[in-house]
Structure 1
Amino acid sequence: MRPGPCIRPVMREAPFGGFPHFLLYSTLHHTTAMTVTTTLFEQIEKDYVQAYKARDSVRLTVLRLLKTAVKNRLVDLRRPGGSLSDEEMLDVIVKEGKQRQDSIEQYTAAQRPDLAEKEAAELAVLKDYLPKALGQEELTALIESTITALGAASPKDMGRVISTIMSSHKGQVDGKALSEAVKKRLQS
């Protein structure tokens, strides 16, 4: 590669008498504004490295398990060398969060508060990667607008209302709470 007017080669000695390495660096002294968007997986990778350096064992364990779940999902989709979209990543994170929530309930029922606390800490790490959950007022307003838009009038339409809301607000709505609220609204 022939260097352009803004890039010049610099020779640097390699350590221990190895071959010299050529480095290219820019001599431009100004930068252009660039918008860099990182995917959810890239953010998880960065946080994994930070947790490793900080020796944050809980975060490190959760992110390691999350990366494994992503790889398993890629194998399930027959894309072992590929990547997941952010929507697919959210599905994986939501699934892992549900597993932690179920574990918390089971450990609490079995009177194992130490294990329940551990799962709660892991769930808190997973929630960092999910979109902000809707509040009760926002959820009620969303249910009302969806019922009006779909023309739902009876409990028979409950499935359509729930699937519409879940698809448009993935990761922001708890399925159980949504189901109960829609059922209550359509029965009244």
Structure 2
Amino acid sequence: MSLLNQLNEDMKQAMRAKEKDKLSVIRMLKAALQNEAIRLGTDDLSPDDEVTILSREMKQRRDSLNEFEKAGREDLVDQLKQEIVIVEGYLPKQLSEEEIAEIVKVTIEEVGATSPADFGKVMTAVMPKVKGKADGNAVNKFVKQYLS
């Protein structure tokens, strides 16, 4: 079942169960997918495109969460945490920190990186391997750690 079909089914269930918050998030995700399909001029997005869009939506929510926490807006923080849980349900299983660290170590060896100057080369090689499965900030942390 494609992600769009899954979202449609979940949207119907959320409507029946009168889960307004979940329904709102599902509608936003569905709109993001449909807008991207229109932008690309296609009817069906590839699974890779879908993961990219979901990752973008997740990143937006995490960035907003950090900003709201800094501003002390607990009402919005709670709402965003609920949205993040819903979006995570559609993303592939996230990698643990140990798995991310191992991928970064292997990639550093593969590209022959030896100093912090090779940071960009390592990030370029790592990110496709963890696409949708790890937050870029976590990868960034490990790359900096191992190259310093």
TM-score category of the 2 structures, normalised to the smaller one: over 0.9
Matched, 1:84 2:45: yes
Aligned residue number for residue 85 of structure 2: 124
Distance 1:41 1:162 in 2: 30
Distance 2:125 2:4 in 1: 26
Q: Give the secondary-structure state (helix, strand or coil) at the position aligned to 2:33.
A: helix
Aligned residue number for residue 31 of structure 2: 68
Task: Give the structure with the higher percent helix.
Answer: 2
Gap regions ≥5 residues in structure 1: 1-37
TM-score, length of structure 2 as denominator length: 0.93
Aligned residue number for residue 93 of structure 1: 54
TM-score, length of structure 1 as denominator length: 0.74
Superposition misfits of 4+ residues, deviation over 3 angstroms: none
Q: Give the secondary-structure state (helix, strand or coil) at the position aligned to 2:114.
A: coil
Higher relative contact order (CA 8 A, sep 6+): 2
Distance 1:46 1:154 in 2: 49
CA RMSD of aligned residues (A): 1.3
Matched, 1:141 2:102: yes
Residues 1-188 of structure 1 mapped to structure 2, 5 A cutoff? 38-79=1-42, 82-187=43-148
Letter in 2 for 1:171: G
Letter in 1 for 2:68: Y
Distance 1:168 1:71 in 2: 26
Task: Give the structure with the higher percent strand.
Answer: 1
Aligned pair count reads: 148
Distance 1:166 1:172 in 2: 10
